[in-house]
Each structure stands twice: as C-alpha cells, then as structure tokens.
Amino acid sequence: MTTPFPFTAARVAVAAALVAATLAGCTAAAPLPGQPQPKAAPGPKVGEEAKDFELTAIGGETVKLSKLTDAGPVVLVVLRGYPGYQCPLCTAQVGGLLGKADEFKKAGTQVVLVYPGPADKLKEKAAEFVKGKDYPAHFTLVTDPDYAFTNAYGLRWDARSETAYPSTFALDSKRKVTFAKVSTTHGDRSKVDDVLKAVGAR
C-alpha cells in the first residue's frame, strides 16, 4: 500500500529555493576544468526507438521497459545516483515530478527514475535517497549497477565525481522518444510541464 508522498507544494518550493542557493555558490554545478565534454548530445534522440532494458526496482521487482510502454507512455528520468552525496538537484527534480503525480496518472503515464552507480552499496544508497518517502504506484525507482543501462544509452559521465548525465525522456507505446532533455551539467533539468505535454497530459 502506498501513502501520499510527503512533498507538499510549499516543501517543493523550499527545496527549489535551496537548490537555487546551492547553485549560486557551488562551482561543482558545472564540469570541473579539464573534464572531458561530450562531442555531441548523448542519449537517444526524439524520433528514435529507446532500447529495451530490465532493471531492478528498489522493492526488488524486475522492471522491463517494453512491458511498461505496452501499457502506455513512460517518462524515463536518469538521476545522478550517488556521486559521493545525495544530489540536491535530483531531490528537487523528483519533488517537482511528484508534485504533478496526479497529472501523470491521468495521462496513464509511468515514471521510472534511474539511480546509477557502482554496484557496491548502490541499493543502500538508493534506499537512502527515498528514505521516509512513499511513491505513488505509477512512480518507480530502479538501480543501475555498474552503469550497464547508462552506458547502453550513451549517458555515462565518465569523469571524476560524476556518474551519468541527468536526463529525461518521454516514450510512447512503441518506445519511440517523443521528448528528450540531456544536461551536460548538474543543472538545466527538464521542465515538468514540458514533459507532461510530451505525454499528452492536459
């Protein structure tokens, strides 16, 4: 049984303000000098078919992308996982998505959050990320041990203290990408309303 996620609009607003303050004084929001930059935008592009995958949810169940898309649109959100800390920008991004959970539900959309990282203790770090929070049934957090999914999607940010490029994709019932937003910095995340529009929410 799920219980309401304890992110109220006020708490989401506070989180957003904290993130803005963090970015204002945090040079780590951009790649460090000397870190390699992608030559082209990584990840699947709009109009392409997203590769199928199977990953394990935080609750232990197997999540297969093609099974989800058979039932309707899917929003796939690639987080930074655990680059040595729980990313506040990821926390705020997930809070914004959860703030629109009802709209995603009305659009028949599943939201899959991918938490990548080294396999060692990844499950524990993912559990820490969601500690004290209950997700609605159409939101699922999955782990990506040793970046198998992240590498397959071309989203590996292979640099010191990095994991994956923060990314959001909307997929239709054929796994065709209808929306893609890949950030090559820690910020510049997708806007929730843009994602909702891509899945046909009104």
Let me know if residue 188 belongs to a domain. Answer: yes
Residue 40, pLDDT score: 54
Let me know if residue 142 belongs to a domain. Answer: yes
Residue 35, pLDDT score: 53
* pLDDT tens digits in sequence order for the chain, 202 residues long: 344 444 444 444 444 444 443 443 333 444 555 555 554 567 899 999 999 999 999 999 999 999 999 999 999 999 999 999 999 999 999 999 999 999 999 999 999 999 999 999 999 999 999 988 778 999 999 999 999 999 999 999 999 999 999 999 999 999 999 999 999 999 999 999 999 999 988 6
CATH of the domain at 64: 3.40.30.10
Residue 85, pLDDT score: 94
Phi-psi region of 41 (alpha: psi -120 to 50; beta: other; left: phi over 0): beta
Q: Which token pair is 159? A: 């640099």
Let me know if residue 12 belongs to a domain. Answer: no
Contact 172, 187 (CB under 8 A): no
Let me know if residue 120 belongs to a domain. Answer: yes
CA angle 195, 196, 199 (to 5 degrees): 90
Let me know if residue 14 belongs to a domain. Answer: no
Question: DSSP letter at 52?
Answer: P
Contact 54, 64 (CB under 8 A): yes
Alpha helices for 113-186 (secondary structure H): 122-130, 148-152
Let me know if residue 57 belongs to a domain. Answer: yes
Within 13 A of 3's CA, how many CA atoms are on the CB side?
A: 5
* Start-to-end Cα distance in the chain: 28
Residue 88's closest CA among 35, 21, 32, 31?
Answer: 21
Let me know if residue 160 belongs to a domain. Answer: yes
Residue 201, pLDDT score: 80
What's the CA gap between 143 and 123, in Å, rounded?
Answer: 7
Query: How many structural domains are present in the chain?
Result: 1
Contact 112, 74 (CB under 8 A): yes
Let me know if residue 36 belongs to a domain. Answer: no
Range of the domain at 117: 45-198
Residue 34, pLDDT score: 52
What's the CA gap between 182 and 21, in Å, rounded?
Answer: 23
